[in-house]
Structures are given as structure tokens and as C-alpha cells.
Amino acid sequence: MGYKCRIPCVKPLMTNRKRQKCLTWAKEKKNWTVAQWSKVLFSDESKFCISFGNEGPRVWRKSGEAHNPSCLREEGHIHLSNPHLAKMKEDILYHFDLGTNTHDFPALFGDVKFVCVGGSPWRMKAFAQYITGELKLGNPEEEIANICAGTDRYAMYKVGPVLAISHGMGIPSISIMLHELIKLLYHSKCTDVTVIRIGTSGGIGIDPGSVVITSQSVNPCFKPEFEQIVLGKTVIRSTQLNNELAQELAQCSKEINEFNTVIGSTMCTLDFYEGQARLDGAICSYTEEEKMQYLKAAYEAGIRNIEMESSVFAAMCNVSGLRAAVVCVTLLNRLDGDQISSSHDVLVEYQQRPQKLVGYFIKNRMSQNLNKTESIQIWCLCTRTELENHIASAIWGKINGVIQKYNSSCKKTSPHTDTLA
């Protein structure tokens, strides 16, 4: 039939309102002089792609349809890969107890920029309270309302631009939550959203308490794929995660400097016991040697931890154009045993590590965004020469910042410029 699966072109999608605005803008400037235009800098030729690589949403299109609006994707926007949704008069997110006819999604969630998900409702509530304190958005001791109080399936808390949601245990549970979350973000018209799973896992060859930032989620055969049966046919989706985001999180951990953090592959299994090569389940069909051989091979393949949700999480975020990361603490080293035997207090402290790291990352990102808004305001108001000066001073500001950081990390007191040479 001539359809091919392609990465959609990224363009600002032109609604009638946007078309009208462009026309009004052009009419207003119809008689501008050369002197007036010389104060304007056009930068539409530069494209800095920081969010997507080869992964991401795809569209089915015929040749010549690349610029057809239905085949485009707007940068930073949520991509819904389901043509049927547009025909629905109402969308009920049953497991969240929210609906598009009963709730004003853009008003409730339109400002969401970060979504943090984790297994237990208790842990996500604790995270929401922690982030309240970190972002200075209220009293972290105060009770916080569960948006999904009408259902006992998932718990959801909102703190400023951060949404914290529990997803339960395993692929089926997180997958239902993600379907509804992605639709929630879409209906709310959210843009530039980062989604992070903060969780626990079993480590392979690293000390308990280490944090693993997932580069890719792999299946029990060590392949970076998520396989699902749809209408009786096998659909395979990529489970690669965003490398830049992983690096940024690793940098945050360096700055916190409180616990060991590594970037590595994460194995995602369907089960905690046999699926993760444990010897202590109710059923076990292999020997201890076979178990050790398997875990050592996993380590050799670059796998540093095992958990139960990352594959479908990565696959669904990829398809929907969402920047995503998985940050899990390891509760034990599986090369040393199977039972989680650390004390309650130690486990609670371990579980706080991904929260601390992601809290720091969000705080950093938000302060960067504030700086960006300030510079955009300055840039819009200035002439070309002023703009050049601003850029120059911004670059020098950055360089000075780096030098100061370098100086303080070297414990040198007098300024020096050797990094500039």
C-alpha cells in the first residue's frame, strides 16, 4: 500500500489561531524600515537537537507525505500513537479516577514538567513531601492530597511542576499507569516533560546502596527490547534510554558526592524469584552454579542491576516522545546472595538515594530554566550590538563560573586562568 514507518519531521504545528497570529504579526511589520529590521536576529537556521536520537515516535506515511500535518510531530509535545482517541467525546482515565469531561486537565496539570514514578504509594508520597521542601513550595511536614484518592490503584501527588505517581509492581501494572499518564499529559497540553522512574533493584557486582542510572533496559536474554503480543502478533519496541539525561543525572550525583553511582544496563524481568535467578523462591528449576553463571554473564554484558518495570517504561516513553530515565538503588549484590537482609533503617536510607539525586536534578533544571527565561527577555529587548555583548558576557560568565568551581575544588584561593589556555 506504499506506507513506510518513518520518524516524523519536527515542526511547530499550525493551528488556525497560530496562523491568525502569524498574519497579524506580518501585517504589523509590513512597513518596517531596514533600520528596524537590523535590530532583529533571525535564528531559524540553527537546530540544536538535545532530546531525540534515532529513538522516539514513528509515523506511518507514504512518500511525499513528510510535511502532511498528520505526519508531523511538534518538538517537546506528547505524541499519542492512537488515531482513535481523536474521535472520542470523553476520555476516562479509569485507574486514576479522572476524566476529560469531569476534570479541567490543562488547569490541573498543564504546568507539569517532571513526572517521577515509583512502585509504592507510600514512597511516592514521601518523595512529594521531600520535593516540597527542596523546591521551597510549602511545608514538607504537611499532609499532601492524593489526586487519585477516588481509586486505590495508584496514588498521585502534585507539587508545583512535579507529579509523583505510584505504579505498583511489574510490567502490567506500570504499563496501565503509563497509558493513562501519557494521555493525561497530552490532554493537559504539557510540553517538555521529563519522566523518571525512581526505584529499587538487585545489584550485580556493585556494592549494596549503589545507584544505577539505566543506559538501556534489557530483557532476560540481554537484548534491549520490549516484546508484547498485540492482536496475536509480536510487537518489539526499543528500550534505549536518553543518554544526555543519564549523563546529566550522573553529573548531579557527582556534585552530591554521597553515594556510588554508575551508568549501566538494567535487566527487566517478569518475576522477582525465578525470573531474577534466585534460589529462594517457592519454585526453582536450576542449580546454584547455573545461577552464578547466568549472573556473571549478565555482568559481562554490562548489566548492573535487575528490576521489573524499566523495559515497558522505556519503550512507552520512546514511542510517546518523552525524555525518560530510570534511577534505581541496589538493595543487595546478587553475586553475594538472594535475600534482602539489611535492617529497615538501612533500606529506608537506600531508598532515599534516588529521590535525593532526582530532587537535586529537578532543582538544578528549574534554576537553569529561570536563567534561560531571564536571558530570553534580555535578548528580545536589545539591539544587535547589545545582543553580541550579552552573548559575550554570558559566555564569560560561564567560563568564570567554571574557573571558580575548578578553583574551589582544587582549594586554590587566588584566581587563575590556566583552564583558558
What separation in angstroms does the CA of 356 have from each of 209, 367, 402, 416?
13, 17, 24, 33
Instruction: State which residue, 97 or 307, has the beta carbon closest to ligand URA.
Output: 307
**Using CB distances below 5 to 8 A depending on partner kind, what does residue 208 bind out of ligand R1P, ligand URA, none?**
none
The C-alpha cell at 421 is 589556555
Task: Return the closest-CA partner of residue 258 out of 365, 357, 118.
Answer: 357
* 200 touches 331 (CB < 8 A): yes
Task: Return the closest-CA partner of residue 338 out of 221, 199, 202.
Answer: 202
**Using CB distances below 5 to 8 A depending on partner kind, what does residue 169 bind out of ligand URA, ligand R1P, none?**
ligand R1P
The C-alpha cell at 408 is 574551589
**Using CB distances below 5 to 8 A depending on partner kind, what does residue 119 bind out of ligand R1P, ligand URA, none?**
ligand R1P
State how beta strands 59-61 and 211-218 pair: unpaired
Binding of ligand R1P at residue 121 (CB under 6 A)? no
**Using CB distances below 5 to 8 A depending on partner kind, what does residue 331 bind out of ligand R1P, ligand URA, none?**
ligand URA
Instruction: State which residue, 306 or 316, has the beta carbon closest to ligand URA.
Output: 306
Instruction: State which residue, 326 or 362, has the beta carbon closest to ligand R1P.
Output: 326
Written as one letter, the residue type at 261 is: T
Q: How far is the CB of 272 from ligand R1P (least distance, A)?
A: 5
The residue with its CB nearest to ligand URA is 202
Q: How far is the CB of 184 from ligand R1P (least distance, A)?
A: 20
Instruction: State which residue, 127 or 186, has the beta carbon closest to ligand R1P.
Output: 127
Q: How far is the CB of 355 from ligand R1P (least distance, A)?
A: 11
Map residues 247-266 to x or -, x wherever contact with ligand R1P holds by CB under 6 A: --------------------
Give the residue, chosen from 59, 78, 95, 118, that forms a contact with ligand R1P under the rule CB under 6 A. Answer: 118
Instruction: State which residue, 217 or 276, has the beta carbon closest to ligand URA.
Output: 276
Q: What residues contact 311, with CB distance under 8 A and at least 6 apart?
A: 171, 217, 218, 219, 225, 226, 239, 268
Instruction: State which residue, 137 or 346, has the beta carbon closest to ligand R1P.
Output: 346
Instruction: State which residue, 311 or 318, has the beta carbon closest to ligand R1P.
Output: 311
Instruction: State which residue, 175 or 320, has the beta carbon closest to ligand URA.
Output: 175
Instruction: State which residue, 283 or 410, has the beta carbon closest to ligand URA.
Output: 283
Give the residue, chosen from 169, 235, 378, 399, that forms a contact with ligand R1P under the rule CB under 6 A. Answer: 169
Q: What residues contact 326, with CB distance under 8 A and at least 6 apart?
A: 196, 197, 199, 213, 214, 217, 241, 266, 307, 310, 313, 314
Exposure of 396 in the CB half-sphere (CA atoms within 13 A): 6
Residue 214 has a CB neighbour count (10 Å cut-off) of: 31
Residue 223 has a CB neighbour count (10 Å cut-off) of: 14
**Using CB distances below 5 to 8 A depending on partner kind, what does residue 56 bind out of ligand R1P, ligand URA, none?**
none
Q: How far is the CB of 338 from ligand URA (least distance, A)?
A: 8
Backbone angles phi, psi at 147, to 5 degrees: -65, -30
State which of positions 264-283 bind ligand R1P (CB under 6 A): 272
Q: How far is the CB of 170 from ligand R1P (least distance, A)?
A: 6
Give the residue, chosen from 119, 161, 203, 359, that forms a contact with ligand R1P under the rule CB under 6 A. Answer: 119
State which of positions 197-236 bind ligand R1P (CB under 6 A): 199-200
Instruction: State which residue, 186 or 350, has the beta carbon closest to ligand URA.
Output: 350
Q: How far is the CB of 269 from ligand URA (least distance, A)?
A: 7
State which of positions 302-361 bind ligand R1P (CB under 6 A): 307-309, 328
Q: How many residues sit close enough to ligand R1P to count as binding (CB under 6 A)?
A: 11
Q: What residues make contact with ligand URA under the rule CB under 6 A?
A: 200-202, 272, 276, 306-308, 331
Q: Which residues bind ligand R1P (CB under 6 A)?
A: 118-119, 169-170, 199-200, 272, 307-309, 328
